[in-house]
Structure 1
Amino acid sequence: MAGKLNEKVLLTGRQVFWQDTLQRLFAKEGWDFYVLTKDFPAPEEVFRIHNVPVVLYVLDSQAEPKSWAPELNEILAMCREHGVRRFYLLESLEMPEARLELSEKIASAWRGGEMTVSFLRLPEVYGPGAAPEDGLAADWLEASQRGESRTGFMETEEKREFLYADDGAYAIFRTIARDFAGESLDIVTGQPVSAKELARTIGEVTGKPLSLSVSEASFGGRLPDSSLVRAEIGWSPRYSLKDGLAMAYEALQDEGESWQRSARRDRRINQLRGWKEKLVPYAENLAGALLMVIVAYFQGGTTVNPAVYFDLNFAYIGAMGILYGKGQSLIAMVFSSVILLGVLLRAGANAVALMYMPEHLLHFVAYLFVAVVTGYFADARAFERQSNEWHAEQARERYDFLRSLYDECVVVKDRLYRQIVNSDDSIGRLYRIIRSLDSVATENLFTQAAGVTTQVMGVEDIAVYVLSKDGYYLRQKVRKGRLAFQQPRSLRVEEHDYLKNLIAEKNVYVNRELVKDTPDLAAPILYQGEAIGVVELFGLDFNKWSLYHQNLFSITMRLISASMGRAYQYEAEAQDKRYYSGTRILREEAFREILQELMERRRLQGEMPLGILKVSREGRSCEELDSICGKVTRNEDFLGEHQGGIYILLPDADEKVCNMVMERLAREGVTAVREEKML
């Protein structure tokens, strides 16, 4: 058996810092929690897809009404359209009186029908994650931590309420979980404080007294009676103001310390990386110079290798130029020149005479040439790499721009696709609805006929009747909606002109004259060209009286009739498998199926009395028992075997009807008792 579906709640409006706390609480209690944002998917799609029964709207108390009034109206309209059961408007007790009255006036205009609108008024909420702009408590707490001063309030005993985030989230959950449907509820702690008390408490928590400069502003706020919220939802605050501020301050300290540690680590890493990038080339250049000195020492005081007759300083200069460019190659050229000069002087050359010896001057010039050439090519390649990186970055930006355009197009495409697929007359939606008619069980089909018709036609009140075999009476099989429950359980055909014409002509009936106690639309269910039942619609909206909806209703009835025909044919062919031969007594499996279908019908209707009587056989055969029971039961009642016994299943029968059937059976000598445990 499938588990119970999770309850659903949707949060929309202003984003608040305690939103995650609220979401975690609902998730912990097994609720599906959705947050409506301004980006995709569109609000209309969220309501259409998730079918949310409860909506929370957080009003932006700091914004002007022109910024939130249109959105509030739009959300309320969608709630009404998509069958939202409860709408809660979360307001701040610190809002100006005029704005509070305006918001409640807008929301109250949408009251009515099945949707209730309630106002939840909260004081200033504080806690971990709150920013200075989220309220006075968070602002003063951060000011105290930093040793800053704040503007205080006139020295009066005015007081206001403060609510810890966890307490506020739990109060909201309790309100929704208890299905509160009152007009308004003030979620207050009953522990207001003055400005002096708040500043003193913050100083005690932080260990740093808060400096306040007096201003003429008013500190006090509305102070509703806290006993009402306790009586309505059984809630009281768990944390005192000092405890809540202590936890908020601890989170603020942890956040600050974490940020400082991260900043110090990043600075240290960046400094090390910068030093490495600057110092490594010089270190390698110096190491290369020392290597050349060592090589000259082991080669007998010369930089020229005697085996290949090649000056290794050229390799050293070229390596620096290729690796790091012209700057390092010139430094390497200077080191090489110094080494060469030292080698020549050690060999007995005169420093002044060297300036006049062409072979030595050409050697120094060759060093310079190698340094410039290798450095030039290295710098050219570095410039080329930078150019390529720049072009790659430009290409990446263009790609990201095109990708964003593509994603936006996909979003629009998906949105339009869902609008088309989920529109009232889309083939996809009709197919998904009509697919539930793929059944060969007649009782299930009557139930599905009601469900299918309500979805296709967008109505709430429907009654499905089955025609008696003699064609004189209509017996109600399924009903849904308040108006349908007011209709009689049986209808005599000859007493209603619309029924006589509908059954004779087999067309859709439209109550154009608005005749009292007559359905707005009605149509027959046909089998082999004859009416076997009637579907009636009540309480149609004005826009559902169009010719389009009449044709849609007619097509739906044809589909239902086709499915009913297949079910009747199957039942006729499976007669021996479903019933004991020559009787109306269902075999156990078929009886169990009928019981499940009627239970499903009761879930659809919301209310349908169902009677089950256990019949004592007392040695009677199935034929004898069928004959006796057939005299005292209706055509729509069922007789079947279950767990070795014989039971009578009485749809839409209350205790009075069950007692009447038992009395009739007793007069025939058959004992029957009610069976409650099977329901």
Structure 2
Amino acid sequence: MAVNQINRLKQKVILTGGRAFWDEQLERLFVKENWEYFREYGNLEKMREKLRIHNISNLIYVWPAERQAAERIDALQRLADILSLAYECEMKAVYFVSTAAAVKRESAKRAEDGMAVVAEQAVKTWSEWADIPVTIIRLPEVYGPDSGPKDGLVARTLYASIKKEALPRMDDEITPRDFLYSADAVYGIYRAVSRGCHGQELNLGTGKGLTAGAFADWIEDVTDLPGMYETSDFKTFPYVQPVLECKTAQHELGWQLKYDRKEALVQTWKYIQEKVEADRLEAQNRVKNIGWRAGYKKLIPYAENFVGALLMAGITYWQHGTTINPQTQMDVNYVYIGAMGLLYGKRQALIAMMASIVIFVVASLARGGELISLSYVPEIILHITAYLFTAALTGYFSDARRFEKESVEWQKRQYIERQGALRDLYEETLSVKDKLYRQIVNTDDSIGRLYSIIKPLDSVEPENIFNQAAAVTARILNVDNIAIYVVGADGYYLRQKVRMGKMTNAQPRSLRIKDHSYLQNLMENHAVFVNKELVKDTPDLAAPIIHQDKVIAVIAIYGLSFEQWSLYQQNLLSITTRLISASMARAYRYERDMQEKRFVAGTRILQAGEFNKLIKDLENRRKLQGDFPVAVLKVDMTNLDYASLDARLSHVIRNEDFVGIGSHGVYILLPDADGDVTTMVQERLQGAGVATVVCEAVD
């Protein structure tokens, strides 16, 4: 029980991204400090499973170093996948381990590692969008134990010097470059994670770079290889890299260097020497084992054949100088030859045949025969011929079986090679398909994007559809200023229902159709209007929302940019209004079918449940518009019932005003009404015999 409680209290972290040589050192440090540590480099699904099962809250992503240049082809896509997964699993913090090459030097026009710069900007932007803090930890070149021959300039130089290979040559002889010991780098990363640093940029380094000459002196001082840079045998290696300022990390993390540069290089040099020697011994042992196993494998058939010959000679001696068993009347040499032939093929069968002939002849001579006379005895010649036939027959079957097996293995290898080629082709095709899929899905007019945008229109509440219609149109057409006008019951006026954008605030709240030719055209032809003549106080685009072949609303768009004046935009608007019209048709049918449940019988007064839904729709519209006042009037129901109230309100309030039953009475909602409008409406209500009181909200 206590152990389980301790495990639940453990903090958890996962390492992913580029595989760094110091990852095991980082794991040992976290485990030592009682953290649960996980690593996952390849499979995204396995990582998703780990995150969900173990509920990991901290993620460390290592940007690939220069030795993993091949990995950078898909590095940004891999980073995007990991960040998407971090958002999906609701990570608490992400730590992005970058390189010093992502920082631009003072004397350079741009940073040395442009992709690292792009990656840093990407994680910063993602952090703002996902609301998950990202801490960027920049490292100079890291060296130390566990490093391989391609892990940076230090490792390249040390391995090359031991193996007598070409040394890396520095392009820049003046600009200093910093080097950080792996133990210090690992400790800095741990401190950042354990202290919960969020949203910062931390540089880890010694702060004191080495020029190319100082680097050579540093290497020669530790390795005792004088004059190693006097040779002309060099390979080009970029030495340029900025030296990072690490005061912020020291202040925020309390991080300090624990290892002197010379001491750290001594430990690294010792490890690399031992590693190279161990690899050399392992290679020698491997060669010896391979040679011994090959010789042993070749020797076994001959050894078994020799033992078989000795056994046959012993049996012949035990049978008093004859190879034929007196009980079975069978020559035991047949068994010996057949066994060698079936086990090892024709060669060993022929050797066994020769040994059997020698045993048979010697046994015959021992019984008193002569060598010359034996060659004339038909039975002896027939017996020896039977030996030859047995060897040839069994050897043939064995070789045929072996050839068949080799043929099957060759066909298997060919099949595996073809399968590998097909798998590579499939994976390449799948990769291309995924890239094309992402391109298609992310395009502005993709079916997936359009579906995700228009999905909110799947509603049966007319008020909610009007709210969503503005948002949907804005997203599909990528515009900011939209107003939706609803056709009045008399068919002469349009009243503003929803508006978005600053430009719509100056637009009139109601429009008389007779005063605007474009509105008359919309009402008659049901076609999209384009303000080609740039008429003032007229929308750039307008389109009707139609129900039962009648225009019930108009969507007006203002402030189009130059590139949006296209037939493409007109078609998008036309398709969008058709989708909205279809949604409105469903909502009206639903409203008609639910008339008795939505309204008090015989009136237009909303029932309590429907009234609450309407209030939520108006709240959503306020979020959408920002400046959307709604006046609330509580009705004095003294000497009034629902039917008489509805009769008195029929010609007093607007079509876009609502009456409904709340928890403590009947309320009238006046959307988009300021103080003056509210006072005017109250006076009109008072004249109709309806007393009201202004409330702050429906209670």
TM-score (norm 1): 0.64
Question: Within the alignment, does 1:192 sit opposite 2:207 as a pair?
Answer: yes
Matching residue within 120, 140, 150 for 1:124: 140
Give how far 1:343 is off. Answer: 3.1
Question: Within the alignment, does 1:490 sit opposite 2:513 as a pair?
Answer: no
The answer to whether the Cα contact below 8 Å between 1:93 and 1:124 also exists between their aligned partners in 2 is no
Distance in 1, matches of 2:328 and 2:57, equals: 85
Question: Within the alignment, does 1:315 sit opposite 2:338 as a pair?
Answer: no
Distance in 2, matches of 1:569 and 1:388, equals: 71
Distance in 2, matches of 1:339 and 1:173, equals: 83
Matching residue within 600, 611, 619 for 1:580: 600
Equivalent position of 2:185 in the other structure:
164
Question: Within the alignment, does 1:559 sit opposite 2:579 as a pair?
Answer: yes
Equivalent position of 2:259 in the other structure:
242
Give how far 1:426 is off. Answer: 6.5
Equivalent position of 1:547 in the other structure:
567
The answer to whether the Cα contact below 8 Å between 1:314 and 1:370 also exists between their aligned partners in 2 is yes
Distance in 1, matches of 2:403 and 2:544, equals: 84
Q: What amino acid does structure 1 have at the position aligned with 2:340?
A: M
1:596-625 residue CA offsets vs partner (Å, 9 max, x unmatched) = 54555566x385667696969898877388
Distance in 2, matches of 1:358 and 1:382, equals: 36
1:218-270 residue CA offsets vs partner (Å, 9 max, x unmatched) = 9896456556789xxx9657574639979x96998999999899979977985
Give how far 1:275 is off. Answer: 5.9
Question: Within the alignment, does 1:305 sit opposite 2:320 as a pair?
Answer: no
- SS at 2:601's partner residue? coil
Matching residue within 83, 92, 97 for 2:108: 97
Equivalent position of 1:465 in the other structure:
485
TM-aligned CA distance change 1:277 to 1:420, over 3 Å:
same
TM-aligned CA distance change 1:388 to 1:51, over 3 Å:
closer
Give how far 1:454 is off. Answer: 3.5
Distance in 2, matches of 1:130 and 1:625, equals: 86
Distance in 2, matches of 1:301 and 1:606, equals: 117
Give how far 1:303 is off. Answer: 1.6
* Correspondence list, 1:126-145, <5 A: 126=142, 133-136=150-153, 138-139=155-156
Equivalent position of 1:475 in the other structure:
496
1:410-429 residue CA offsets vs partner (Å, 9 max, x unmatched) = 76677767777876667777
Question: Within the alignment, does 1:453 sit opposite 2:473 as a pair?
Answer: yes
- SS at 1:97's partner residue? coil
1:459-482 residue CA offsets vs partner (Å, 9 max, x unmatched) = 454333334545545224252xx5
* Correspondence list, 1:81-480, <5 A: 91-93=102-104, 97-100=108-111, 122=138, 124-126=140-142, 133-136=150-153, 138-139=155-156, 160=178, 162=180, 164=185, 178=199, 187-189=202-204, 191-195=206-210, 222-223=242-243, 226=246, 236=253, 238=255, 240=257, 242=259, 274=294, 277-293=297-313, 295-296=315-316, 299-349=319-369, 359-360=379-380, 363-364=383-384, 366-391=386-411, 393-394=413-414, 397-398=417-418, 400-401=420-421, 434=454, 436-469=456-489, 471-472=492-493, 474-479=495-500
Give how far 1:534 is off. Answer: 2.1
Give how far 1:192 is off. Answer: 1.0
- SS at 2:337's partner residue? helix
The answer to whether the Cα contact below 8 Å between 2:598 and 2:606 also exists between their aligned partners in 1 is yes
- SS at 1:304's partner residue? coil
* Correspondence list, 1:492-531, <5 A: 492-493=511-512, 497=516, 500-501=519-520, 504-505=523-524, 506-515=526-535, 518-531=538-551
Equivalent position of 2:557 in the other structure:
537
Q: What amino acid does structure 2 have at the position aligned with 1:497?
A: H
TM-score (norm 2): 0.63
The answer to whether the Cα contact below 8 Å between 2:529 and 2:542 also exists between their aligned partners in 1 is yes
Equivalent position of 1:65 in the other structure:
none
- SS at 2:545's partner residue? strand
TM-aligned CA distance change 1:504 to 1:495, over 3 Å:
closer
Q: What amino acid does structure 1 have at the position aligned with 2:203?
A: V
1:604-660 residue CA offsets vs partner (Å, 9 max, x unmatched) = x38566769696989887738889999998754555456677677676689x89998
More off after superposition, 290-299 vs 510-519? 290-299
TM-aligned CA distance change 1:288 to 1:35, over 3 Å:
same
- SS at 2:498's partner residue? strand
Q: What amino acid does structure 2 have at the position aligned with 1:477?
A: V
TM-aligned CA distance change 1:589 to 1:346, over 3 Å:
farther
The answer to whether the Cα contact below 8 Å between 1:583 and 1:622 also exists between their aligned partners in 2 is no
Equivalent position of 1:83 in the other structure:
none
Give how far 1:446 is off. Answer: 1.3
TM-aligned CA distance change 1:199 to 1:314, over 3 Å:
same
Q: What amino acid does structure 1 have at the position aligned with 2:516?
A: D
- SS at 1:305's partner residue? coil
- SS at 2:560's partner residue? coil
TM-aligned CA distance change 1:382 to 1:221, over 3 Å:
closer
The answer to whether the Cα contact below 8 Å between 2:176 and 2:243 also exists between their aligned partners in 1 is no
- SS at 2:402's partner residue? helix
Give how far 1:325 is off. Answer: 1.1
More off after superposition, 565-574 vs 399-408? 399-408
The answer to whether the Cα contact below 8 Å between 2:102 and 2:113 also exists between their aligned partners in 1 is no
User: How many residues are matched?
Assistant: 611
Distance in 1, matches of 2:571 and 2:485, equals: 21
The answer to whether the Cα contact below 8 Å between 2:191 and 2:253 also exists between their aligned partners in 1 is no
TM-aligned CA distance change 1:531 to 1:190, over 3 Å:
same
Distance in 1, matches of 2:663 and 2:283, equals: 75
Give how far 1:443 is off. Answer: 1.8
The answer to whether the Cα contact below 8 Å between 2:531 and 2:540 also exists between their aligned partners in 1 is yes
The answer to whether the Cα contact below 8 Å between 2:660 and 2:667 also exists between their aligned partners in 1 is yes
Distance in 1, matches of 2:62 and 2:175, equals: 42
Distance in 1, matches of 2:337 and 2:489, equals: 112
TM-aligned CA distance change 1:436 to 1:321, over 3 Å:
same
Distance in 2, matches of 1:385 and 1:274, equals: 20
More off after superposition, 214-223 vs 314-323? 214-223
The answer to whether the Cα contact below 8 Å between 1:144 and 1:203 also exists between their aligned partners in 2 is no
Distance in 2, matches of 1:397 and 1:149, equals: 36
Structure 2 residues without counterparts, runs of 5 or longer: 1-15, 24-38, 65-70, 88-93, 129-133, 231-236
Distance in 2, matches of 1:214 and 1:616, equals: 98
Equivalent position of 1:79 in the other structure:
none
- SS at 1:100's partner residue? coil
Matching residue within 666, 672, 675 for 2:695: 672
TM-aligned CA distance change 1:219 to 1:402, over 3 Å:
closer
Distance in 2, matches of 1:170 and 1:515, equals: 64
Q: What amino acid does structure 2 have at the position aligned with 1:523?
A: A
The answer to whether the Cα contact below 8 Å between 2:635 and 2:668 also exists between their aligned partners in 1 is no
- SS at 1:278's partner residue? helix
Residue identity (%): 35
TM-aligned CA distance change 1:618 to 1:540, over 3 Å:
closer
Q: What amino acid does structure 1 have at the position aligned with 2:152?
A: G
Distance in 1, matches of 2:357 and 2:654, equals: 121
More off after superposition, 154-163 vs 280-289? 154-163
